[in-house]
């Protein structure tokens, strides 16, 4: 029979403790990448990063309620990377803040939604109605462009400032007649039978461009290897989520606390993306020109530095 002396036992225990300590120390030495994203279904990609983490890295996902909060976190270094609307990113770039767009994050994800019995069936029908809009959001610029296309302006409606997450409840209570929202709000209103789609507002030259992936200039200059590593992970997570609808829906339910019926209504209106293609490079400056025309910014960003497509172009070619 095998026997172990007390001295051998203590020696083995000490060795095991040392190995455990070394393992914990190595784990603690892993670099933690902090990523900010919005509490929206089209900001869900970062929650899939953990499946594709390279050795030596951890990821911490920090949710934000507003695009401006996400942008400010990137600028101040509270997060390394941020996913939020093109509007907030453009505002930062126009103000000379060191925010840089290094990838795409989401197309679509927007909707103009009205009460089921509101009689609102088109953009023109919004005239004289209370419409929830989040100032400083991509949706704000898009709806102003749509109103202009219909010969209208913001003065033809009564805009109500409401956060995206509060829009569906506000419509259900009757506080507003319609909203220009972000998924899963539209999915919630549809699933509950209290709202209907007026339109998905993708007919402007901005198209369906919505959310972008950003970092700060200093990180590009000091650690380009991290940018490459992160974008490779972002691409894998994006393609996985888009190719696995059930996993996409389950993750959105888990992180957003919404019912399956609502998420399933919202999911078809979401296209998670990663690449900066030629269309992106046309749509983004047009979008900036609309912000300038509407006096939301005083000058355009320097697009030669504000958008840095070289990393994703290299990734696409690999």
Q: How would residue 318 be classed by pLDDT, with cut points 50, 70 and 90?
A: confident
R_g over Cα of the chain = 23
Q: Which of 162, 106, 113, 119 is nearest to 137 (CA)?
A: 162
Pairing mode, strands 31-38 and 57-64: parallel
Q: How many CA atoms lie within 13 A of 105 on its CB side?
A: 27
Reported as a single tens digit per residue, the pLDDT across 4-28 is 444 443 444 444 444 343 333 334 5
The pair of three-digit structure tokens given for residue 48, joined into one six-digit string:
């899939």
**Per-residue pLDDT at 137:** 87
The total number of residues written for the chain in this structure: 318
Q: Take residue 55 and report the two structure tokens written for it.
A: 């050795």
Mean pLDDT computed over 261-283:
95
Q: pTM of the full predicted structure?
A: 0.84
CB atoms within 10 A of CB 14: 10
147 and 123 Cβ atoms separated by less than 8 Å: yes
What is the per-residue pLDDT for 294?
86
Residues 127-141 have a mean pLDDT of: 94
Query: 131: which DSSP letter?
Result: E
* Angstrom distances, CA of residue 199 to CA of 36, 57, 127, 136, 160: 29, 42, 15, 21, 19
Report how far residue 30's alpha carbon sits from residue 226's, in angstroms, rounded to the nearest whole number.
13
Across 280-300, average pLDDT: 94
Q: What percent of the chain is helix, strand and coil (3-state, nearest 5)?
A: 50, 20, 25
Q: Which residues of 26-59 are buried (b: 16+ CB within 10 A; e: fewer)?
A: eeeeeeebbbbbbbbbbbbbbbbbeeebeeebeb
How do residues 149-201 score in pLDDT, each as one tens digit? 999 999 999 999 999 999 999 999 999 999 999 999 999 999 999 999 999 99
Domains in the chain with CATH codes: 30-107+208-317 (3.40.190.10), 110-199 (3.40.190.10)
- What 3-state DSSP class applies to 218? helix
Residues 6 or more apart whose CB falls under 8 angstroms from that of 165 comprise 39, 65, 185
- What pLDDT, on a 0 to 100 scale, did the predictor assign at position 47? 97
């Amino acid at each position: 029979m095998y026997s172990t002396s007390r001295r051998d036992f203590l020696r083995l225990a000490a060795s095991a403790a040392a190995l455990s300590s070394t393992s914990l120390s190595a784990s603690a030495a892993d670099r933690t990448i902090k990523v900010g994203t919005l509490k929206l279904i089209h900001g869900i990609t970062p929650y899939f990063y953990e499946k594709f983490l390279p050795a030596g890295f951890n990821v911490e996902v920090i949710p934000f309620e507003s695009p401006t909060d996400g942008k400010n976190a990137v600028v101040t270094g509270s997060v390394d990377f941020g996913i939020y609307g093109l509007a907030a990113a453009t505002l930062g770039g126009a103000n000379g803040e060191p925010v840089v767009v290094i990838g795409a994050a989401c197309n679509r994800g927007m909707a103009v939604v009205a009460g089921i019995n509101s009689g609102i069936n088109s953009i023109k029908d919004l005239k004289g109605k209370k419409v929830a809009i989040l100032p400083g959001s991509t949706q704000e610029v898009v709806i102003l462009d749509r109103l202009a296309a219909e010969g209208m302006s913001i003065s033809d409606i009564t805009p109500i400032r409401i956060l995206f997450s509060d829009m569906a409840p506000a419509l259900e209570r009757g506080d507003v007649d319609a909203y220009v929202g972000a998924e899963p709000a539209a999915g919630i209103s549809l699933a509950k039978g209290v709202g209907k789609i007026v339109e998905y507002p993708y007919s402007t030259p901005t198209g369906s461009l919505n959310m972008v992936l950003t970092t700060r200039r200093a990180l590009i200059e000091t650690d380009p290897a991290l940018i490459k590593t992160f974008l490779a992970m972002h691409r894998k997570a994006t393609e996985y989520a888009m190719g696995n609808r059930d996993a996409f829906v389950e993750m959105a339910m888990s992180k957003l606390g919404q019912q399956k019926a609502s998420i399933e209504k919202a999911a078809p209106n979401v296209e998670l993306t990663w690449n900066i293609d030629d269309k992106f490079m046309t749509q983004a400056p047009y979008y900036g020109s609309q912000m300038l025309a509407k006096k939301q910014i005083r000058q355009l960003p320097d697009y030669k530095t504000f958008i840095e497509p070289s990393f994703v172009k290299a990734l696409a070619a690999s």
